[in-house]
Structure 1
Amino acid sequence: WPLNRRILYNRASADPQGRPWSERKKYVWWDEEQRKWTGYDVPDFPVTRPPDYTPSPGATGMDAHSGSDPFIMKPDGKGWLFVPKGLKDGPLPAHYEPAESPVHNALYQQQSNPAAKYFQGKPYNRLAAVGDENYPIVITTYRLTEHHVSGAMTRWLPWLNALQPELFAEISPELAAEKNIKHGDWMIISTPRGEIDARAMVTKRMRPLLIKGRAVHQIGVPFHWGYQGKATGSITNDLAHMVLEPNVSIEEAKAFLCNIRPGRLP
């Protein structure tokens, strides 16, 4: 978007001379006869800029990028291993476990991002300890195509509600058997912050993870429902903690810990 490109920076699929790196990886390349970039995608690059183009002194914007600089959204057109300024963490990528995790960081001693905003000590933001036996299951949240925004708008549309009428949780057959939950049953999901109920969707898409010899289960829960609209349901974000990424304060609600049991809330 807006040019319907499939792969950003696809100029990088060709070498500095504009030739495909290999026939197998051939994707976008410079056509010398037509004097333009062509291929299997819309070129993410000035289409008539030849590979040997050299910017003039004092050139600005896209004119400052040479014909072999594919990363057009970077000021210098180059690929970066790290951001040279502005980040509150980094500069190189590092693996941290989420604020709530069933396992210790296997790479080094720092468990989670020390620069994140944790709001510690708040009664509404209690965190489960690493490997907490009361909350052994990993939960991830996500969107659905039918409720493509938050749900606040789409829950008022009957035809979308007919496609996705109520909150559900995807769980593996192994976890369902362990918890005595059948497909379509109601189940309660709990975290240190609260509880919600949802329908169980038993599916092989959710697979247990084998970590250091033990099974770690995971469930998936969309977050589109609430107390208003033509289709209502529990609020998934009632389960999530308030832990914010240090640079732009994105909430870390894609992975935290929970437990489940059959039944409904009163």
Structure 2
Amino acid sequence: MKSVPFYIATVAILIGVTFPVSAQNVTSIFGHEIYVSDQDDGEHLMIDGTSALNDGQVIIWEIGVAGDAPFIMGWTGSGGRMCASVPFIISFATDTPSVDVLPIECGRLPHKIGDGEILFESPGIPGNPGLAYLWTPEAGFTSTTASLIDPGSGWDAMRQREISAPNGFLAFPDTRDYLRELAGDAFPDVMRLISGPPDATYRGTRLITSNCVSGNCPFGGTLIIADTANRKLYLAWATQDTAPGKSRPAISEWPEDLRQVLQDWQSRW
């Protein structure tokens, strides 16, 4: 990959290491004035004196070249904790730079720079197709098929402390199937609530994870507790309207100390 360091007057294309940049220091990139302006209605991405993007927060993060296509990448979002910023790309393929924003509601996907393209991808697993978008200067972002991986076992991942959110259990067929069976007919309800700002704590052989729904914290979310020694999962979910929510298995099957965790979690509603 080629990366582009910048300085006040111009940006020279050099082979190097891409690094975060401060938008306030940028005045000229690829022959155009690019900077971020903080105004009353939020931050504006300014290109040659014209606002090209407006949001609560606009951050320029990476300047580079995909093959022969120069680009600037950054993040745009409300700046709040409830919904992570999404990537945007400025393309310089024509005389007039264009701006494309990754078409997902909030959050980021890992990206890989190729020859004239950038792939944003969360690989799929059996039972979950994943998510992928390909960016090119000509077409902007287009949805594409994500690659498939064999994720292995969720229980092995927990032993390596690789799961840190309730939706992390969905990345592994064994724990995803366990949750589907545990929730039964309510599994679609759980899926609607399982993604968003998470908390996670490993306590010996147990993992306690919870989340609140992106854009609606703290008024909906899930609690999942994993007992890795016995390979058991304990699940609860709720919204403000359904407080204190539902739990699986029956509360009589929860160990006493985990009932207290459940009660503490339910108290937020």
TM range (shorter): under 0.3
Q: Report which structure shows greater RCO (CA 8 Å, sep ≥6).
A: 1
TM-score of the pair, normalised by structure 2: 0.25
Higher helix content, 1 or 2: 2
